[in-house]
Amino acid sequence: MENEIQDNGLEIVYKKPSTLTDTPLHYCPGCGHSVVHRVLMEVVDELGIQDKTIGVAPVGCSVFAYNYMNIDMQEAAHGRAGAVATGIKRVLPDKYVFSYQGDGDLAAIGTAETIHTVNRGENILMVFINNAIYGMTGGQMAPTSLEGMKTATSPYGRDVKLMGYPLKITELLAQLPGALYVTRQSVHTPNAVRKLKKAVKASFEYQKLNEGTCFIEVVSNCPSGWKQTPVQTMKWIEENMFPKYPLGDIKVPKF
């Protein structure tokens, strides 16, 4: 794509997507949410679908996503984004619908809604931010918290015999016939961000086909919850998260 040349002859190589608002982000410095927001809105911009896109943001750190995304949005109750998105898509089948959910929302309180939304093959995109912790409520254990991981509610480390195992819900969902495209991406390096964008773009394109649910897990970080600097979290993701949650496509459409 050719870059825009300004009147003064300077070339614009990077700008904020028009579908991101000017509202200052409330996310902690270094948090992956803002990058994922940007990627989503870049794709909406590039596909020119602002007037056809409806987002759903349930309870969690991203509950205020509608402050930042300049599209029609619905806030959902904790765990119910899949059901809310279903309701929207069923009455507006020609629109693009996505949900944006955290690990506690999608894989704990909303597990039933998540599984059944994908099992029905709702033609939506579900974006699943997995940072292995409850960020908004102050760093409690999430269903995806790693074995031995210290959180506010597992201060001695997650004892899997007592507290259950890290839930690989993405692999689980990939088993369902309703799932069209299932992939795990991250935002810890510029290259990873580019790959995520490709997956997001593909998922929006797939919605036109009416063939099933697109599901993107984004392995992300939580500097505040993990009690690390943003730079440390990038390393921690690579050393601890990826062995449990390996990146890459888990299910790709066969046409």
Q: Which residues bind other proteins (CB under 8 A)?
A: 50-54, 56, 63-64, 66, 69-77, 80, 82-88, 90-92, 95, 112-113, 116, 120
Nearer to other proteins, 71 or 222 (CB): 71
Nearer to other proteins, 136 or 247 (CB): 136
Nearer to other proteins, 54 or 222 (CB): 54
* Residue-wise burial string across 126-163, b where 16 or more C-beta atoms lie within 10 A, e elsewhere: bbbbbbbbbbbeebbbbbbbbeebbbebbeeebeeeeb
- Rounded least distance, CB 136 to other proteins, Å: 11
Q: Residue 149 in contact with residue 157, Cβ under 8 Å?
A: yes
- Rounded least distance, CB 107 to other proteins, Å: 16
- Rounded least distance, CB 2 to other proteins, Å: 23
- Rounded least distance, CB 118 to other proteins, Å: 11
- Rounded least distance, CB 22 to other proteins, Å: 13
- Rounded least distance, CB 19 to other proteins, Å: 9
Q: Residue 6 in contact with residue 12, Cβ under 8 Å?
A: yes
Q: Residue 88 in contact with residue 67, Cβ under 8 Å?
A: no
**Residue 72, token pair as written in the block:** 């029609």
Question: Packing angle between helix 190-207 and helix 33-47, nearest 10 degrees?
Answer: 50
CA distance 234 to 195: 16
